[in-house]
């Protein structure tokens, strides 16, 4: 029997506020906090967004240590082990916002489960540690939300809900290059009428990527000819329909590698590719590494939690 003691990690649970999908930590206890060396990592049931006004030391994201500087913003998905390691006795200043992603997105995407799950994957795909100067919209949204919660003026509930959704969409944009949705990330204006023509094909791909897909099937879903479908798909998605299908398959396979313990062989069998060699070639093309190498580098923190001795703490 292996008697090796597992390192401890805290599960810090938060309830959201009445009528709002958030919880927040601010005030003197957080704006004038004394730095300490971290005892252990912790994770939350909610997404955590932290704004550092003044700090030092490192932000620990799993086994990564990132240098803390003033006006840095941390974006931590649920169930992601992390902590801050600061110089003992120093004064550090942070504010924190916690978001229930499901409560925020379901009123918008509730009837479109495929889209809801896609956006959740996009938002929670990875942790970020960014500078407010480079992402002023995220910094501004964060500060507006906390300001509205503190001043408690008329209609603040509606303003906060709108700003939280906007904040999540901006976080989704951070990872849009990894889990591409050209309808969200394309920089130039689109012809809405033509885009709506290929939407049935995009929906079909997301629902059937695990099965064989013919281009004619997609054209039929859009009620247009295959030749015209290929033309407008390329024009608006900046890629061919076949490449888009393969990318969706690879991104979903990568998500399974990140968040489950399924074997790579099992994931390949459900990926929609007809052979392991085709899967491996496309995985290398889109992810930059072989499946095995990628999983070793980027396996999700949810899977890594099994290596810790977890105990519950109610918030901070």
CATH topology assigned to domain 190-300: Arc Repressor Mutant, subunit A (1.10.10)
Residue with tokens 């013919």: 214
For the chain, give the longest Cα–Cα distance.
69
User: Given this model, what pLDDT does residue 140 score?
Assistant: 95
Query: Residue 103 corresponds to which tokens in the numbers above?
Result: 């409560």
What pLDDT is attached to residue 34? 58
Distance CA 259, CA 98 (A): 21
List, in sequence order, every beta strand (DSSP E) within the chain.
8-12, 22-25, 33-34, 41-44, 47-54, 58-61, 64-67, 72-76, 82-85, 91-99, 128-131, 309-313
| Predicted confidence (pLDDT) per residue in 178-193, tens digit | 444 443 344 344 444 4
Give the pLDDT score at 5.
58
Residues lower than pLDDT 70 in the chain: 1-8, 27-39, 176-196, 298-316
Domain extent listing, the chain: 8-174, 190-300
Q: What is the pLDDT of residue 1?
A: 45
Strands 41-44 and 8-12, bridge-based pairing: parallel
pLDDT value of position 50 = 94
Q: Work out the end-to-end distance of the chain between its first and last CA atoms, rounded to an integer number of angstroms.
A: 35
pLDDT at residue 49, as a whole number:
97
Pick the CATH number of 8-174 from 3.40.50.300, 2.60.120.10, 2.40.160.40, 1.20.1250.20: 2.60.120.10
pLDDT score recorded for residue 14: 87
pLDDT digits 0-9 by tens, 129-176: 999 999 999 999 999 999 999 888 899 999 999 999 999 999 998 876
């Amino acid at each position: 029997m292996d008697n090796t003691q597992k390192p401890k990690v805290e599960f810090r649970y938060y309830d959201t506020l009445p009528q709002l999908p958030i919880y927040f930590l601010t005030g003197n206890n957080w704006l004038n906090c004394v730095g300490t060396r971290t005892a252990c990592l912790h994770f939350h049931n909610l997404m955590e967004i932290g704004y550092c006004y003044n700090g030092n030391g490192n932000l620990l994201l799993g086994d990564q240590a990132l240098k803390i500087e003033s006006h840095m913003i941390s974006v931590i998905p649920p169930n992601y082990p992390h902590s801050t390691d600061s110089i003992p006795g120093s004064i550090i200043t942070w504010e924190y916002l916690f978001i229930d992603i499901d409560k925020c997105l379901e009123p918008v995407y509730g009837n479109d489960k495929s889209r809801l799950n896609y956006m959740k994957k996009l938002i929670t795909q990875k942790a970020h540690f960014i500078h407010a100067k480079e992402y002023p919209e995220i910094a501004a949204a964060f500060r507006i939300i906390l300001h509205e919660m503190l001043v408690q003026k008329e209609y603040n509930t509606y303003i906060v809900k709108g700003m939280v959704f906007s904040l999540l969409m901006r976080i989704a944009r951070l990872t849009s290059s990894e889990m591409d949705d050209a309808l969200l990330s394309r920089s130039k204006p689109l012809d809405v009428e033509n885009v709506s023509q290929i939407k049935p094909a995009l929906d079909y791909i997301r629902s059937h990527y695990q099965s064989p897909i013919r281009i004619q099937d997609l054209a039929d879903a859009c009620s247009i000819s295959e030749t015209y479908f290929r033309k407008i798909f390329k024009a608006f998605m900046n890629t061919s329909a076949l490449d888009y299908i393969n990318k969706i398959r690879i991104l979903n396979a990568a998500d399974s590698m990140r968040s489950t313990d399924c074997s790579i062989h099992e994931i390949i069998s459900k990926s929609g590719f007809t052979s392991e060699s085709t899967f491996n070639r496309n995985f290398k093309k889109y992810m930059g590494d072989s499946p095995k190498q990628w999983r070793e580098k980027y396996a999700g923190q949810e899977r890594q939690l099994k290596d810790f001795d977890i105990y519950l703490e109610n918030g901070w």
